Structure 1
Amino acid sequence: MARDLGGEKNTASRAEMFIGARTEERLYFLDECAAIADCHIATDDGSRGYKGFVSEMLRERLQTMSQQELDSLCFYNCGPEPMVHAAVAVQKEFCRDDQIHNAIDYMTKCGVGICGACNAPDGRRLCVDGPFLSNSPN
């Protein structure tokens, strides 16, 4: 997505990625991400980058931006449910709901919308309605 939305081709609109993990050993594809976006890394234990949650690091970054910059942002959150919800809570402090899209790691089994294993709490199915769902089900 970062490559498609600017990435390495247009440094004026270079994407920013906020990458979080429990430890440095759980960070993946950092070189590939750095090739197409400015990466901000957080680990819960501080073994790499910011010490703390990625949502805390995101809040610090958003606090430095002007309203015009904030209005132009688009968020694509991907990860486990608690992390995505924490990121959305921070993003809502600064931005509109229509700027926020989520792909929560719900278990997917059948991949065609029959089994219900990947249902989001509002009933949307990640395998057929996603992978990214808007913050509101409209």
Structure 2
Amino acid sequence: MKKYILDLTVKSVEQVHERYVLVKLTSKETLPQMLPGQFVEVRVDGSATTFLRRPISIHFVDYQQNELWLLVACIGDGTKAIGALKSGDVLNCVLPLGHGFTIASDNRKCLLVGGGVGVAPLLYLGAELKRQGVEPTFLLGARTGKDLLMLDEFRKYGRVMVTTEDGSEGEKGFVTNHSVLEQEQFDFIQTCGPTPMMKAVARVARQKGIDCEASLENLMACGLGACLCCVEKTTEGNLCVCKEGPVFNIKRLLWQD
């Protein structure tokens, strides 16, 4: 796909959690095509300690409103600077980058599993699946109920199941402990989140013989496969996650633990 370097205008910044903001961006021109699972590289202006662009998953694209949504975890100086943006500010982005999720267009029963800020790309994926006539089931995990993000948005596109480590909402435990994995049979699992969580999801998928894709969150600097800092060992050798991924079928990954 063609890549663009665009100055996008901040439409709004919404604090959805004490650590997360939802940034909605727009443009005078029609936004280019973007696929679920792809990401953008954001230039951070006004931060003396931030020299490299920050990779951020595409959370949602609303073509009717000409909006790109980014769900940002405000952790370091760079992401905190993004979270401090105001309506009317300009954010320079390189997009769309990477290879995204497979969009099932048949009657496959899809389970989308996310944890933490890893839930971000699953909203756009769920919307595209529903557009194709496939209503997904979301299985979203967090430490506590207050850490669950954007649940009402996810419910627009499918059934939502949740787990929390403290049991304050949904079922207590990790996403791989949820009863839906024992009670129902799925044809396809797609996941994004902390690596230990994704490896656990991949293990369950292998045990049950379910096709599975994972969106890796390796550290990325350039987003174009030039700097080699995001290399992942695969069945095909070392591959740059930013260029060959970030989405991989787990059969290509050396996740056998």
Q: Compare the two structures and name the one with the higher strand fraction.
A: 2
Distance 1:88 1:129 in 2: 19
Deviations 1:61-106 (A, max 9, x none): 23223xxx54xx111110110000011111112124xx11001222
Number of the residue aligned with 1:135: 250
Deviations 1:22-81 (A, max 9, x none): 122322121111110111101111122111001111xx323223xxx54xx111110110
Matching residue's letter, 1:24: G
Matching residue's letter, 1:81: T
Number of the residue aligned with 1:21: 142
Identical counterparts, % of pairs: 27
Number of the residue aligned with 1:3: 127
RMSD between aligned residues = 2.0
Deviation of 1:134 (Å): 0.8
Q: Which has the larger radius of gyration?
A: 2
Unpaired segments ≥5 residues, structure 2: 1-124
Number of the residue aligned with 1:107: 219
Query: Are the counterparts in 2 of residues 23 and 46 from structure 1 also a CA contact under 8 Å?
Result: yes
Number of the residue aligned with 2:239: 124
Within a 5 Å distance, the mapping from 1:1-138 to structure 2 comes to 1-6=125-130, 10=133, 13-57=134-178, 60-65=179-184, 69-70=185-186, 73-96=187-210, 99-122=211-234, 123-137=238-252
Distance 1:135 1:2 in 2: 20
Distance 2:148 2:171 in 1: 13
Query: Are the counterparts in 1 of residues 217 and 246 from structure 2 also a CA contact under 8 Å?
Result: no
Distance 2:200 2:164 in 1: 15
Query: Are the counterparts in 1 of residues 216 and 245 from structure 2 also a CA contact under 8 Å?
Result: no
Matching residue's letter, 1:63: E
Query: Are the counterparts in 2 of residues 76 and 132 from structure 1 also a CA contact under 8 Å?
Result: no
Deviates more, 1:36-45 or 1:104-113: 104-113
User: Compared with structure 1, are the counterparts of its residues 115 and 26 closer, same or farther at alpha carbon in structure 2 (3 Å cutoff)?
Assistant: farther
Query: Are the counterparts in 1 of residues 126 and 136 from structure 2 also a CA contact under 8 Å?
Result: yes
TM-score normalised per structure 2: 0.45
SS in 1 for 2:161: strand
Unpaired segments ≥5 residues, structure 1: none
Aligned residues: 126
Higher relative contact order (CA 8 A, sep 6+): 2
